[in-house]
A and B are shown apart, each in its own frame.
Chain A
Amino acid sequence: AQTVTQSQPEMSVQEAETVTLSCTYDTSESNYYLFWYKQPPSRQMILVIRQEAYKQQNATENRFSVNFQKAAKSFSLKISDSQLGDTAMYFCAFRGRTSYDKVIFGPGTSLSVIP
């Protein structure tokens, strides 16, 4: 069974600084998807970034980028130029390749951006 681990329950960063959130996962599959989701105080889940395992290039979305290390089963999220609106829970998630595979979430990291 797949598992997703986030070893940092809470983190804080100064506004405009850079922060990296860690995520590791375990799977026997070779093709899969990895995601970072953001859950602000409103509790609406927002997709931040997606990575397909067969792509070696790390995904980027504006200020958000990932460091995907497939052999190490590591998938960290880097947030550059942190903004107050980045304050939220961040969940790392895994999904297998088939259409009906469920998304498995990590325990989450609570990020606070300090003005």
Chain B
Amino acid sequence: GAVVSQHPSWVICKSGTSVKIECRSLDFQATTMFWYRQFPKQSLMLMATSNEGSKATYEQGVEKDKFLINHASLTLSTLTVTSAHPEDSSFYICSAREVTVEQYFGPGTRLTVT
């Protein structure tokens, strides 16, 4: 199946700093990418949907200015957590879809804000 990568797999940052997470589709062109957040022992919560070359569509309650999403190409999307705080510590998962039904998930990024 298709492969989605995320980098980094784990990042620790200090409160007040920004951190960028990359999501790449390695062997297909992703027309749509999704960013999820997952707290321990909970389900995946969709944060935003992005289409290549367009602004991301954020879910209700997700701060657009805090979680900046850029879908710069058909193989790359980035999530930047700006002015991170300890409550932003979580597991972030990206997912990519081409024009078919299938949606492929990255391995996730653990963010720890100290």
- Residue numbers of A with Cβ under 8 A of B are 33, 42-45, 47, 50, 91, 95, 99-100, 102-108, 110
**Is A100 touching B43 in the complex (CB atoms < 8 A)?**
no
Q: B38's closest neighbor in chain A, by CB?
A: A43
Per DSSP, chain B at the interface is strand
Q: Which of B82-108 contact A (CB under 8 A)?
A: 91, 93, 95, 97, 99, 101-103, 105, 107-108
Interface size class for chain B?
20 to 34
- Residue numbers of B with Cβ under 8 A of A are 31-32, 34, 38, 41-44, 46, 49, 51, 91, 93, 95, 97, 99, 101-103, 105, 107-108
Chain A residues with CB under 8 A of B105: 44-45
Q: B34's closest neighbor in chain A, by CB?
A: A102
Chain B residues with CB under 8 A of A99: 31-32, 97, 99
